[in-house]
Structure 1
Amino acid sequence: MIFTPFIRFVAHRFVQSKQQDAYIAFVSKSSTFGVGLGCAALILLLSVMNGFERELRENLLNVVPHAELFSASADGLQPSLGFIQAMQDDPKIQYVFALNKASGLLQKGKQIKSVELLGIERDYFQEKFSSHFDYGVLETEPMGIVLGADIMQTLSLKVGDSVQVLLPKVTEDLSFQTSVATWLTVVGEVSIGGELDSFIGITSTATLTKMLSLDNHVTHIEMHMFDPFDAFEVVRQYGFNFDQAVYMSDWTRTHGHLYQDIKLVRAVIYIVLILVISVASFNIVSSLVMSVKEKSREIAILKTMGTSDSQIQKIFIAKGLYSGLFGATIGSIVGCLLAAYLSEVIAVLEMVLGFQLLDAGVYFTSSIPSQLSLSDVLLTYSIAIIISVLATLYPATKAANVLPSAHLH
């Protein structure tokens, strides 16, 4: 047993001593507050990073292609049934779609806006956009288009308006011909979040196939993985074995910067807040060093009564550990409560301040998400306790070196 009842009793008496110097008491309490504040902030911010990562996976990556093969020529792709079947049977791939995509321009009057067109079927809609709009609007209007919320706002469009779509036509020698212009009717609006709303346009497969004059060919083969991080490897596995020239792409190339930003911020948070806890722990060193000087007479009396140097060390380690334990425990509880109710707290702040903290047009979520992780809580608590224990070693050694003869007269 590291701390015997005798050691805990003496350490507790030193902590609760009414004769303790007021300045030493203040330094001790400030160290406890600093450790608690560091723990609460670290748990809260790590939960926010977990929340952003969850939103990235469940929101953005549910719509953005995990991986795709797309045609290197204007003639499109004509994958064999065996090739598609092999992809569908791959245990890493959740589902596969062959579809048409095209980059173009939207024009309304003198206003022009770039757009990425998707030509989709109902099964693709069910997997990707079922919670965003009703596919029936595209079935009702064959020449209909559903546009991102930012496009609608930029071009001052509303449902029922007509908009001209211009698609570039590229020849074999890479020279441009006159753009293909088609009038489409706006039948709906989609709001996904982030930059997607500023360029996405959705129409039916038949409409986009007709606009591209592809007949039975497609422009893209899109794959959705069970684990998004398999995308880089899988898309190259099938891309190199495809019997046509294709380009290969995955989400880490198009949106990987978001994930890297989350990882970078998480690492910075770890470093900064562990330093905050470490700085707070220096106050434990200061308070214990001053406490050793103040309690030198009591230490001398304990030694004359037979208390060993190792027991004196453990008494002061336990005394410093009380501050670390109390601060880490209170801070962890506060951090968990803030992380669990962060959305409610943010909602109250937004209502009081009168503005939205996150703009859905810039980020892929309109609110600050939070996902509390037990492993983060345990890691934070453990780090705080370890740093607190390390902070007590020097003062405890000084206490053990106190000479009774120098303090008993």
Structure 2
Amino acid sequence: MSLPLSTLIGLRYHRARHRNGFISFISASSTIGILLGVAVLIIGLSVMNGFERELQQRFLAIISHGELEAVEQPLADGAGLLEIATSQQGVEAAAPYISLSGLLQKGKQMKAIAVKGIDPDAERQISRLPEFVSSEAWQALEPTQANIIIGAGIADELGLAAGDTATLLLPQQSTGQRLSSPQRVAVRVVGLMRAAGQLDNQLGFVHIDQARQLNQWESGVSGISLRVSNPLQADELVRTIGMHSEQLVYVRSWMRTHGFLYQDIQLVRTIMYAIMLLIVAVASFNIVSTLILAVTEKRSDIAILKTMGAEDGLLIRAFVVYGAYNGVLGCLLGVVLGLLGVWSLPSLVAGVEQLLGRTILSADIYFIDFLPVELLWSDVALVALAALSLSLLATLWPAWQATRIRPAQELGG
């Protein structure tokens, strides 16, 4: 199958040796610039996709999408509020909980811990917490025994393992002007939660009946937790349900407490896309420079083609092919390099961490302690399309300049 004449001329001009070596240098620079821009953008977007996936499948799988907690605890009509919540459109499930804050002590070491009293059966409906805990530990949460599941980060800091005993220190309400000594409770660690992130250093779980005994309540709960079908609408749904509560409640959603994580991911994604496209745009300007110099160098050849009957459209298409060659080549190589980078990035980061002897993402700071990646082919297609579009746009003006050459002026002397 023969190629169109304009394509043959454009490819021949591109392969031809230039009298001016500067043209070849600028041409190679444009290809490398587009290559790097496309590759880095694919890798960066894949990392942001990975963070968003882990936020949804790991972080939001453990914390509640929304909570309604009594201002004056305990919540008197928890069952009624549960019924109102589950009847609300958009709410998938609801479960009661009791919140406790204290210190976990092992020997001389202490660690702050947020303990949540849960109903193991109801908790399965609102979170995927059991997936991050062994089945034996989950079944060991009993209403009559002081058993606790703690985050792996807390266990590592205190030197605890499953089966060990620790002391849970809980604050007590002061009487008069005297400070009350904390309540000390011996608890047995029945298992560890391994979410590979910040939550491992914060949370602990006990049975809701055991938490009720620790609070010295005969009945009642601190509040209810919600799971909604669309986490981005959690704030609105929680406020709507809170309006139906007869008791004054605090209204919280993950968007208020941890929404900055999602906003940061989206912001970084947008900034990265803008910066990388600007890099590709700068590389495309090199295509403009290459074509302008090439048109200047080929003025006599263009004049001869026009005397042989070449139309302006043919000349424009020929130089578009000439200039777009760099964009297409850089885009293809950038996609290949980007895919290789995405697939090798986790092992590369792991090797760097092993070499340095430290983790790049600390679980004390970030919600995960590893670098996630998720490749979306739609992102690859979008990046490639954007790079090709900028490359093609960069060829139009220089190609049009080739049609303004007058054969009589070029060949007359």
**Under a length normalisation based on structure 1, what TM-score does the superposition of the two structures give?**
0.90
Q: CA deviation at 1:167?
A: 2.5
Q: CA deviation at 1:179?
A: 3.7
In structure 2, which of residues 362, 380, 385 is the aligned counterpart of residue 382 of structure 1? Answer: 385
Distance (Å, rounded) in 2 between the aligned partners of 1:244 and 1:6: 81
Distance (Å, rounded) in 2 between the aligned partners of 1:381 and 1:66: 36
Retained in 2: the 8 A contact 1:70–1:77? no
Q: CA deviation at 1:244?
A: 0.7
Amino acid at match of 1:65: S
Q: Which residue of 2 aligns with 1:12?
A: 11
In structure 2, which of residues 93, 96, 99 is the aligned counterpart of residue 98 of structure 1? Answer: 96
Q: Which residue of 2 aligns with 1:289?
A: 292
* Identity over aligned pairs, percent: 35
Give yes or no for the alignment of 1:395 onto 2:398: yes
Task: Name whichever of 346-355 and 250-259 sits farther off.
Answer: 346-355
Q: CA deviation at 1:367?
A: 2.5
Q: Which residue of 2 aligns with 1:271?
A: 274
Task: Name whichever of 90-99 and 146-155 sits farther off.
Answer: 146-155
Retained in 1: the 8 A contact 2:67–2:223? yes
Amino acid at match of 1:14: Y
Q: How has the CA–CA distance of structure 1 residues 239 and 174 changed in structure 2, closer, same or farther, with 3 Å as cutoff?
A: farther
Q: Which runs of 5+ in 2 are unaligned?
A: none
Distance (Å, rounded) in 2 between the aligned partners of 1:294 and 1:130: 71
Distance (Å, rounded) in 2 between the aligned partners of 1:300 and 1:163: 90
Q: Which residue of 2 aligns with 1:132?
A: 132
Distance (Å, rounded) in 2 between the aligned partners of 1:120 and 1:16: 71
Retained in 2: the 8 A contact 1:46–1:376? yes
Q: How has the CA–CA distance of structure 1 residues 77 and 54 changed in structure 2, closer, same or farther, with 3 Å as cutoff?
A: farther
Distance (Å, rounded) in 1 between the aligned partners of 2:76 and 2:178: 21
Q: How has the CA–CA distance of structure 1 residues 343 and 107 changed in structure 2, closer, same or farther, with 3 Å as cutoff?
A: closer
Distance (Å, rounded) in 1 between the aligned partners of 2:73 and 2:179: 12
1:295-321: CA deviation from partner (whole Å, max 9, x where unpaired): 111011111112233432232122111
What count of residue pairs does the alignment treat as equivalent? 405
In structure 1, which of residues 402, 405, 408 is the aligned counterpart of residue 408 of structure 2? Answer: 405
Distance (Å, rounded) in 1 between the aligned partners of 2:94 and 2:344: 38
Q: Which residue of 2 aligns with 1:331?
A: 334
Distance (Å, rounded) in 2 between the aligned partners of 1:191 and 1:342: 23
Distance (Å, rounded) in 1 between the aligned partners of 2:109 and 2:195: 23
Amino acid at match of 1:370: V
Q: CA deviation at 1:178?
A: 4.9
Q: Which residue of 1 aligns with 2:365?
A: 362
Task: Name whichever of 304-313 and 229-238 sits farther off.
Answer: 304-313
Q: How has the CA–CA distance of structure 1 residues 174 and 199 changed in structure 2, closer, same or farther, with 3 Å as cutoff?
A: farther
SS of the residue corresponding to residue 223 of structure 1 reads: strand
Q: Which residue of 1 aligns with 2:241?
A: 238
Q: Which residue of 1 aligns with 2:48?
A: 49
Distance (Å, rounded) in 2 between the aligned partners of 1:341 and 1:141: 50
Task: Name whichever of 347-356 and 251-260 sits farther off.
Answer: 347-356
Distance (Å, rounded) in 2 between the aligned partners of 1:378 and 1:7: 27
Alignment of 1:1-400 (within 5 A): 5-19=4-18, 21-81=20-80, 83-126=81-124, 127-133=127-133, 134-139=137-142, 142-170=145-173, 178-350=181-353, 355-400=358-403
Q: How has the CA–CA distance of structure 1 residues 141 and 171 changed in structure 2, closer, same or farther, with 3 Å as cutoff?
A: closer
Distance (Å, rounded) in 2 between the aligned partners of 1:112 and 1:361: 16
Retained in 1: the 8 A contact 2:70–2:249? yes
Q: CA deviation at 1:237?
A: 0.6
RMSD: 2.6
1:86-142: CA deviation from partner (whole Å, max 9, x where unpaired): 422444122110121112223445543321111122214544322222213333981
Q: Which runs of 5+ in 1 are unaligned?
A: none
**Under a length normalisation based on structure 2, what TM-score does the superposition of the two structures give?**
0.90
Q: How has the CA–CA distance of structure 1 residues 197 and 348 changed in structure 2, closer, same or farther, with 3 Å as cutoff?
A: closer
Amino acid at match of 1:23: F
Distance (Å, rounded) in 2 between the aligned partners of 1:166 and 1:389: 68
